């Protein structure tokens, strides 16, 4: 992959740190077994991975937040119960805040189900030929993936999957519990938004915590709506489905927001 001028500039800042860390690892002999493959611990490979992770963390959160705000605008009936949950949560001790929010957990999970950012998930390279029970064989070297957009809109996993149900994942037994049983960050075969269970996205708790805090501020301080709710909200780029450029959200500060 050819590096752009911006990537080369970023790599110039990161490379000295990576070189020093690799030296420290060699001196202390504490290299994790999962990273002993020489090809995976070259300076260029590590720099490339760091840039990719930085790019992902910088873009995924705003995209997810944008879709969540869109869904709040399209389904304003959820704003009041979510705001009430937020206000009750803010009255708790700081260490307990944002933990027991079954309505918010469910709304975020449903928003991700309907707008998963990418049609595919869990992309993997086939290291050796594999034959399914149906007789289909995947040759070595091919890239395979889970069709998460189709899967998360399948009646096999969800009742009435084409309908947005913001509280779809709220369980009756969540009442009185310190934390809801089903969370936005949970991984399952019917919700591969965060990847596979064994190697799920390590940044999902950061995304969840950030979204809750941002939405808590927005819902208690502002009212908002789409400037034009007749426009298409999404656009495609390769396998990605992202918010359409040029969409505007109108915000107005609540009179009693404090």
Q: What is the pTM of this model?
A: 0.79
More confident residue, 244 or 46: 244
189 or 57, which is more confident: 189
Render 149-188 in DSSP notation, one character per residue.
Answer: HHHTT-TTTSSSTTS--TTTT--GGGTT-SS-SS-TT--B
Q: How far apart are CA 118 and CA 63, in angstroms?
A: 11
Tell me what percent of the residues of the chain surpass a pLDDT of 70. 89
Tokens representing 53 are: 């992770």
Write out pLDDT tens, residues 120-154.
999 899 999 999 999 999 999 999 999 999 999 99
Are 51 and 18 in contact, with CB atoms under 8 Å apart? no
**Least-confidence region, from 67-76, 83-92, 153-162, 176-185:** 176-185
Residue 170 has pLDDT above 70, yes or no: yes
Q: Strands 121-125 and 222-226: what pairing?
A: unpaired
User: Any binding-site annotation on 201?
Assistant: yes
Question: In DSSP terms, which residues pair with 130 in a beta bridge?
Answer: 138
Structural domains in the chain, sorted by start = 60-120+150-253 (1.10.630.10)
pLDDT confidence of 13, banded at 50, 70, 90?
A: confident
Residue 3 has pLDDT above 80, yes or no: no
For residue 171 the two structure tokens come to 């369980």
Nearest to 174, CA basis, from 110, 94, 100, 91: 100
**Do residues 235 and 242 make contact, with C-beta atoms less than 8 angstroms apart?**
yes
How confident is the model over 40-49, as a mean pLDDT? 76
């Amino acid at each position: 992959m050819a590096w752009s001028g911006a990537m080369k500039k970023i790599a110039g800042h990161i490379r000295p740190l990576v070189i020093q860390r690799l030296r420290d690892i060699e001196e202390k002999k504490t290299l994790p077994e999962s990273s002993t493959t020489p090809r995976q611990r070259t300076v260029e490979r590590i720099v490339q991975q760091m840039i990719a992770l930085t790019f992902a963390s910088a873009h995924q959160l705003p995209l997810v937040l944008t879709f969540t705000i869109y869904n709040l605008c399209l389904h304003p009936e959820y704003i009041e119960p979510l705001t009430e949950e937020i206000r009750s949560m803010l009255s708790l001790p700081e260490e307990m805040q944002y933990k027991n929010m079954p309505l918010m957990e469910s709304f975020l999970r449903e928003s991700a189900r309907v707008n998963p950012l990418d049609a595919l998930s869990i992309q993997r390279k086939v290291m050796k030929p594999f034959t399914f029970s149906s007789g289909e064989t995947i040759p070595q070297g091919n890239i395979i993936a889970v069709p998460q957009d189709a899967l998360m809109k399948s009646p096999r996993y969800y009742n009435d999957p084409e309908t947005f149900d913001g509280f779809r994942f709220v369980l009756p037994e969540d009442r009185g519990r310190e934390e809801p049983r089903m969370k936005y960050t949970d991984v399952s075969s019917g919700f591969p938004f965060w990847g596979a269970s064994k190697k799920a996205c390590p940044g999902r708790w950061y995304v969840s915590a950030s979204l809750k805090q941002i939405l808590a501020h927005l819902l208690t301080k502002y009212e908002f709506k789409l400037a034009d709710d007749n426009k298409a909200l999404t656009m495609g780029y390769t396998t990605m489905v992202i918010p359409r450029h040029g969409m505007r959200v109108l915000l107005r500060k609540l009179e009693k927001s404090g």
